[in-house]
């Protein structure tokens, strides 16, 4: 099954298609914006446009190249998604394992184009970076451009990916091979290595309108949603198709846990610490990382609100004061550090207790 159509983001699309037409498309792009608004879908749209045999402002959709990209089968479009850490001991075997795992994910997405959110523990490990390096060193199969999409690029583990791998990736981004295009995506550019961020031209995507989300759900979700279900999903989505599609219970639970924890943090050091210790033993690590992500999103939303931008998710009122922006940014840095540590072998309760202390100081 081909990918569902790209919804919205008309200004970004126009800007990108003009850049292609003028031969001015930067070779390294960073698409940023809230989770589930279609950053990776836009990257694939751009791959289609770059490959299309009869391009105009939009990919034609009908030519061989367009159809191959839409079916996730173009040999020169490489889509790197976060995957579970490879288990093989030998580094070369790890690279093979990463390649097989990514191929498997692509198969699943071909079968189910409305795919679920990536598990919180999946990352771009050293093996994925080596795979990217290996593929980038080859020439184009079809003789044209090559596109490398690095989805959720902030999941590149800096610590684990060793200096060598980080440097290899940076070198690729600094001097991309001729005819290649790198598109990185992230919810939060501040979570990216600064050196990576500085090499990419940013394109910011905003939340979609409720009408766009609703139109997408009506056209794509089978069986058709009842009007009550549709309404609830659109309200919950906050302008994100992904949020509308992903398991509402899980997202809601993570958001609720994040809100409770932030309330405790805002009440001071004692309550924050108590709350961390009371935290039930986390059965699945995914729940813990989902909560940290929800904390980061709430703080980022508060930071936007504190500089006068509209706020679309529930944020503790005390965080919205104007003088809060600096401390919110500092808090986001702490959460990003904790998020990275959570991928390693750290006790979640201790991590949460330390993070609570840090946040209670800055907020
Ligand atoms: Zn085409």
C-alpha 5 to ligand 1 mean position (Å): 14
pLDDT at position 280 is 59
C-alpha 44 to ligand 1 mean position (Å): 13
C-alpha 64 to ligand 1 mean position (Å): 7
C-alpha 104 to ligand 1 mean position (Å): 26
C-alpha 52 to ligand 1 mean position (Å): 4
pLDDT at position 116 is 83
Give, for 78, the enclosing helix (H) or strand (E). Answer: strand 77-80
pLDDT at position 320 is 80
- What are the backbone angles phi and psi of residue 184, rounded to the nearest 5°? -100, 145
C-alpha 195 to ligand 1 mean position (Å): 35
- What are the backbone angles phi and psi of residue 147, rounded to the nearest 5°? -120, 130
pLDDT at position 291 is 87
- What are the backbone angles phi and psi of residue 123, rounded to the nearest 5°? -140, 175
C-alpha 325 to ligand 1 mean position (Å): 45
In angstroms, the CA 95 to CA 110 distance is 23
Name the DSSP letter for residue 154: G
C-alpha 49 to ligand 1 mean position (Å): 7
E-strand ranges in 243-291 read: none
In angstroms, the CA 156 to CA 54 distance is 36
pLDDT at position 222 is 87
C-alpha 214 to ligand 1 mean position (Å): 27
C-alpha 56 to ligand 1 mean position (Å): 9
Residue 276 has a CB neighbour count (10 Å cut-off) of 21
C-alpha 125 to ligand 1 mean position (Å): 33
Long-range contacts of 219-226 (CB under 8 A, 24+ apart): 220/4, 220/114, 221/114, 221/245
pLDDT at position 19 is 95
Query: Are the beta carbons of 289 and 297 closer than 8 angstroms?
Result: no
- With CA atoms as reference, report the closest residue to 248 among 240, 334, 165: 240
Query: Are the beta carbons of 60 and 52 closer than 8 angstroms?
Result: yes
C-alpha 107 to ligand 1 mean position (Å): 22
Query: Are the beta carbons of 148 and 180 closer than 8 angstroms?
Result: yes
C-alpha 72 to ligand 1 mean position (Å): 14
C-alpha 147 to ligand 1 mean position (Å): 15
Give the model confidence (pLDDT) of 92-127 as tens digits: 999 999 999 999 999 999 998 998 888 877 888 889
C-alpha 210 to ligand 1 mean position (Å): 30
In angstroms, the CA 48 to CA 212 distance is 22
C-alpha 50 to ligand 1 mean position (Å): 9
Residue 227 tokens read as: 């009007």
- With CA atoms as reference, report the closest residue to 229 among 240, 219, 214, 239: 214
pLDDT at position 248 is 63
pLDDT at position 126 is 85
pLDDT at position 227 is 93
Query: Are the beta carbons of 185 and 152 closer than 8 angstroms?
Result: yes
C-alpha 69 to ligand 1 mean position (Å): 9
Give the model confidence (pLDDT) of 233-253 as tens digits: 898 888 999 989 876 667 777
C-alpha 61 to ligand 1 mean position (Å): 5
- What are the backbone angles phi and psi of residue 27, rounded to the nearest 5°? -80, -15
* Intervals of the chain under pLDDT 70: 157-163, 165, 247-249, 279-285, 345
pLDDT at position 16 is 96
C-alpha 152 to ligand 1 mean position (Å): 27
pLDDT at position 73 is 94
Residues linked to residue 150 through DSSP beta bridges, in sequence order: 80, 184
C-alpha 51 to ligand 1 mean position (Å): 7
**DSSP conformation letters of 102-136:** HHHHHHHHHH-SSPPPPPTT-BB-HHHHHHHHHHH
Query: Are the beta carbons of 319 and 306 closer than 8 angstroms?
Result: yes
Residues around ligand 1, an ion, CB closer than 5 A: 52, 59-60, 63, 66
Global pTM? 0.81
C-alpha 33 to ligand 1 mean position (Å): 27
- What are the backbone angles phi and psi of residue 127, rounded to the nearest 5°? -60, -40
C-alpha 150 to ligand 1 mean position (Å): 23
C-alpha 183 to ligand 1 mean position (Å): 19
């Amino acid at each position: 099954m081909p990918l569902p159509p790209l919804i919205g983001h008309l200004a970004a699309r126009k800007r990108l298609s003009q850049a292609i037409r003028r031969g001015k498309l930067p070779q390294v792009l960073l698409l940023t914006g809230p989770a589930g608004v279609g950053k990776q879908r836009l990257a694939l749209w751009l791959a289609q446009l770059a490959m299309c045999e009869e391009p105009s402002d939009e990919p034609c959709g009908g030519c061989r190249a367009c159809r191959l990209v839409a079916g996730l089968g173009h040999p020169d479009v490489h889509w790197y998604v976060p995957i579970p850490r490879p288990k093989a001991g030998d580094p070369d075997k790890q690279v093979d394992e990463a390649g097989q795992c990514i191929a498997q994910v692509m198969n699943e997405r071909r079968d189910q184009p409305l795919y679920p959110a990536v598990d919180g523990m999946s990352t771009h490990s050293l093996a994925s970076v080596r795979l990217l390096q290996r593929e980038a060193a080859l020439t184009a199969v079809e003789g044209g451009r090559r596109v490398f999409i690095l989805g959720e690029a902030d999941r590149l583990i800096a610590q684990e990916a060793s200096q060598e791998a980080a440097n290899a990736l940076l070198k690729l981004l600094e001097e991309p091979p001729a005819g290649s295009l790198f598109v990185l995506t992230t919810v939060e550019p501040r979570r990216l290595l600064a050196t990576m961020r500085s090499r990419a031209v940013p394109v910011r995507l905003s939340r979609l309108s409720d009408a766009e989300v609703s139109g997408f759900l009506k056209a794509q979700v089978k069986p058709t949603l009842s009007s009550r279900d549709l309404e609830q999903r659109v309200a919950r989505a906050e302008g994100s198709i992904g949020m509308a599609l992903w398991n509402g219970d899980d997202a809601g639970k993570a958001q609720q846990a994040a809100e409770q924890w932030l309330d405790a943090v805002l009440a001071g050091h004692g309550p924050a610490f108590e709350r961390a210790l009371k935290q039930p033993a986390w059965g699945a690590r995914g729940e813990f990382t989902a909560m940290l992500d929800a904390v980061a999103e709430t703080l980022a939303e508060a930071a936007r609100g504190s500089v006068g931008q509209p706020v679309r998710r529930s944020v503790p009122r005390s965080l919205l004061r104007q003088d809060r922006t600096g401390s919110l940014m500092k808090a986001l840095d702490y959460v990003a550090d904790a998020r990275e540590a959570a991928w390693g072998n750290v006790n979640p309760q201790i991590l949460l207790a330390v993070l609570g202390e840090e946040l209670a100081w800055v907020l």
